[in-house]
Amino acid sequence: DLSGQVAVISGSTSGIGLALARAVAARGGDVVLNGLGDPAEIERTRAELEASCGVKVRYHAANMLRGEEVADMVAYGKHELGRVDILVNNAGIQHVESVEKFPADQWEKIIAINLSSTFYATRAAIPIMKAQGRGRIVNIASAHGLVASPFKSAYVAAKHGVIGFTKTVALELAQDNITCNAICPGFVETPLVQAQIADQARLNGVSKEVALKDIILEAQPTKRFVTVDELTGIFLYLVSDLGASATGASFSIDGGWTAR
Ligand code: NAD
């Protein structure tokens, strides 16, 4: 039961972030949504979530490329909904290209959105959580926070960075009843991955079907996508009171990927 709690979730207009927002709202928690997309569609999602769950759902349009806007999103949670109990740093993008051809602007964007926004949001949330005497920070890293794949240098560097940042924050807040953990999903079928099927097919000169089975799911021993419900399970544990001693850790939900 998350009633009375407020979750701020970056990148929650789609995919994993939206699934986690639904999980919080379904358990009675209020939510600040964030992310890119068509304003009318975002407003439909917001209103539907609010009505179906009977909770307050707000939207903040912060662009994760800009630190001040990220901090503003967290402050908005406090001003608008009264508290910030749960922060989920989830927004992320991918670009698939060899290092030698990797565009500098894509490198800078991936580091800013996937790594630096986590710093800006966390820094803004800590004083609020300290004043409340409790907090839960969940960073959506990746199996690529623990191991690498070719053609994903910026993403792999950013996600390894997220795991290092997660450990540091956990140590700093260990006596403040604020935990900070990373979830490391394997491949989950979301718009982010759909785009990669085409990229991998192009880079490897194979069909999309072959790219999916032999390249994308090659590393995932279960040979199927992780589902968003499977991620929701570990997330709900981490934000619960039972998760109080789980901090500074990375939780692999990756179909066995990093066991190899
Ligand atoms: P997605 O593309 O469905 O969602 C990404 C979200 O981030 C969207 O809401 C998008 O609007 C938002 N976003 C992107 N750029 C933004 C910006 N500049 N400012 C604000 N919001 C922005 O992708 P997803 O698969 O749900 O990914 C969510 C997280 O999970 C990412 O950090 C991703 O790296 C991670 N992840 C995904 C997978 C997977 O297989 N799908 C695996 C491991 C980790």
Our count of domains for the chain comes to: 2
Based on the fold, state whether residues 21 and 140 are members of the same structural domain.
Answer: yes
Based on the fold, state whether residues 174 and 88 are members of the same structural domain.
Answer: yes
Rounded CA separation 122/70 (Å): 9
Based on the fold, state whether residues 143 and 199 are members of the same structural domain.
Answer: no
Residue 220 resides in a domain: yes
Among 59, 76, 155, 237, the active-site one is 155
Averaged confidence pLDDT in the chain: 96
For the CA of 226, the nearest atom of ligand 1 = 40
Whether the pLDDT of residue 118 is over 90: the answer is yes
In this structure, what token pair is assigned to residue 232?
């929701």
Q: Give the model confidence (pLDDT) of 32-44 as tens digits.
A: 999 999 999 999 9
For 169: left if phi > 0, alpha if psi spans -120 to 50, otherwise beta; the answer is alpha
Would you say the ipTM is above 0.95? yes
- Cα dihedral: 238, 243, 245, 251 (round 10): -40
Predicted confidence at residue 64, as pLDDT, reads 98
- Cα dihedral: 182, 73, 168, 241 (round 10): -60
Based on the fold, state whether residues 45 and 12 are members of the same structural domain.
Answer: yes
Instruction: Name the pLDDT band for 213 (thresholds 50, 70, 90).
Output: confident
Residue 37 resides in a domain: yes
Burial of residue 102, with CB atoms counted within 10 A of its CB: 0-12 exposed, 13-18 middle, 19 or more buried? middle
Which amino acid type is present at position 10?
Answer: S
Based on the fold, state whether residues 142 and 108 are members of the same structural domain.
Answer: yes
Listed in sequence order, the residues at least 6 apart from 154 whose beta carbon sits closer than 8 Å to its beta carbon are 95, 102, 106, 107, 110, 111, 114
Predicted confidence at residue 221, as pLDDT, reads 94
Based on the fold, state whether residues 200 and 106 are members of the same structural domain.
Answer: no
Based on the fold, state whether residues 88 and 213 are members of the same structural domain.
Answer: no
Mean pLDDT across the stretch 93-104?
A: 96
Mean pLDDT across the stretch 186-198?
A: 87
Bridge partner list, 6: 30
Rounded CA separation 83/129 (Å): 8
Based on the fold, state whether residues 208 and 137 are members of the same structural domain.
Answer: no
Structural domain for 239, as ranges = 6-186+226-253
Span from the CA of 113 to the centroid of ligand 1 (angstroms): 9
Listed in sequence order, the residues at least 6 apart from 231 whose beta carbon sits closer than 8 Å to its beta carbon are 16, 19, 20, 183, 185, 188, 253
Ligand 1 pocket test, candidate residues 16, 70, 218, most atoms within 8 A of CB: 16
Residue 159 resides in a domain: yes
Residue 260 resides in a domain: no
Mean pLDDT across the stretch 219-226?
A: 92
Contact 160, 115 (CB under 8 A): no
Residue 206 resides in a domain: yes
Whether the pLDDT of residue 194 is over 90: the answer is no
Residue 1 resides in a domain: no
Residue 51 belongs to domain with CATH number: 3.40.50.720
Find out whether the beta carbon of 142 lies less than 6 Å from any atom of ligand 1.
Answer: yes
Bridge partner list, 178: 135
Rounded CA separation 92/65 (Å): 10
| Strand ordering across the sheet containing 250-253 | 57-60, 30-34, 6-9, 86-89, 135-140, 178-185, 250-253
Whether the pLDDT of residue 258 is over 90: the answer is yes
Whether the pLDDT of residue 195 is over 90: the answer is no
Residue 230 resides in a domain: yes
Listed in sequence order, the residues at least 6 apart from 133 whose beta carbon sits closer than 8 Å to its beta carbon are 176, 177
Instruction: Name the pLDDT band for 215 (thresholds 50, 70, 90).
Output: confident
Which amino acid type is present at position 142?
Answer: S
Respond yes or no: is residue 237 known to be catalytic: no
